[in-house]
A = this chain, B = another copy of it.
Amino acid sequence: MIQLLSAGLRVNNNVFEILDQQLLPSQETWIAVQSPSHMVEIIKALKVRGAPMIGICAAIALAQYAEKTSSIVEIEHAAHELQNARPTAVNLAYCIGKMLATPRQDWQKGALWEAAVKLFHEDITLCESIAKHGIPLLKNGAQLLTICNTGRIATAGIGTALGIAYKAHELGMNIHVNVVETRPLLQGGRLTIWELKKQNVPCTLLIDNAAAALMQKGVVDAVFVGADRIACNGDSANKIGTYSLAVLAAYHRIPFYVVAPYTTVDPLCESGMHIEIEQRSFSEVHGVQGSFGNVTWAESSVQVFNPAFDVTPAELITGIVLDCGYFNQKAIKHGEHLKIEEK
């Protein structure tokens, strides 16, 4: 009997449930995943999000499906459908790749479940290792700044960028996390604040365009962000607004760290130029939608520029924290973040 439990997903035998992140923080509702195409819907609707989390959920959905079908071709078809649910995060491709690399003849004999469970546990370990390498970058009393949600519901473990803050807090360090709300989908204001409050980590919320003023006041000691894809040269794609924070941090001489598991590094992607950026719907910017309500303030006819991600060039990144170590600018230039022993 398979049992998995994290802040954002749970598996109890063949029942696979996901915490609906669109309904947070006002409602904690779990969705029972029915099929790979249901999972794709859930991913596209951002009911589950966070690059590592999406990969693991897709893997579990595939394992679950293998028990329901006798067709190898259908499993492969479902795998491709899952892999294409979102284009930017590389972890999704990584997880599905791991699943498909298992012996095909064992797919319906538990091999896919075994692979998915391994990915789940691997992610927990990755988060712990990331935190271990991130902690030395913090001083006691540090004021951090972060964007979006890179915590417990974005991974199977304690998180990536936010995981470092959780670990510091757990170790008794006195830290404070400043969170930009992260328009348009408000993952900072809705999810990260909810998580930090739950873990009793001191935090402050601000609008995205107040980050510069907070830095100008001298309040911010370091910026920690997640990543959806890290190119060979260190260029990193992450939530829209991350690049903005990187430019602001450089101007204010504040260290800017990208934090991710090694699975986010894409050895096939030479530079940021090659990262596909998903454009999302106008309605996200015409107003806000969520379990909290649905309001529109802008003229519905107005054209919108709404990329889901932006790319931060390596020269603005002080260092990349991976599970396998910390890589400063020089190390990134030498491609040391690419020389990773696979676990």
Contacts and interface: CB of A to CB of B under 8 A. Distances in A.
Interface of A: 25-26, 147, 178, 180-184, 186, 189-190, 193-194, 197, 203-214, 216, 240-241, 243-244, 247-248, 250-251, 285-288, 290, 292-299, 301-307, 310-311
17 contacts: A25-B297, A147-B209, A183-B207, A186-B298, A197-B299, A205-B302, A206-B305, A207-B240, A208-B209, A209-B244, A211-B244, A213-B240, A213-B305, A214-B305, A247-B251, A290-B297, A293-B294
By secondary structure, the A interface counts as mixed
Given A25-B297, A210-B307, A290-B295, 20 more contacts: A25-B299, A181-B285, A189-B297, A193-B302, A194-B299, A204-B305, A205-B304, A209-B240, A209-B244, A210-B240, A212-B310, A213-B240, A213-B244, A213-B305, A214-B305, A287-B292, A288-B288, A290-B297, A293-B295, A295-B295
A296 B302 CA distance: 25
A313 to B, nearest CB: 9
A204 B294 CA distance: 22
A218 to B, nearest CB: 13
Contact of A303 (B203, B243, B311): B203
Contacts of A180: 209
Contact of A213 (B197, B286, B296, B307): B307
Nearest to A289: B295
A181 B183 contact: yes
A297 B197 contact: no
A308 B183 CA distance: 18
Oligomeric state, in copies: 2
Contacts of A178: 305
B303 A204 contact: yes
B303 A205 contact: yes
Nearest to A307: B213
B197 A285 contact: no
Contacts of A247: 212, 247-248, 251
Contacts of A286: 189, 205
Nearest to A176: B303
B251 A210 contact: no
Given A181-B285, A287-B292, A302-B205, A212 B244 contact: yes
A243 B208 CA distance: 12
A180 B181 CA distance: 15
Contacts of A298: 25, 181, 186, 189-190, 193, 205
A302 B203 contact: yes
B302 A204 contact: yes
Contacts of A285: 181, 189, 205-207
A210 B248 contact: no
A18 to B, nearest CB: 20
A236 to B, nearest CB: 13
A235 B178 CA distance: 26
Given A287-B292, A299-B25, A209 B209 contact: yes
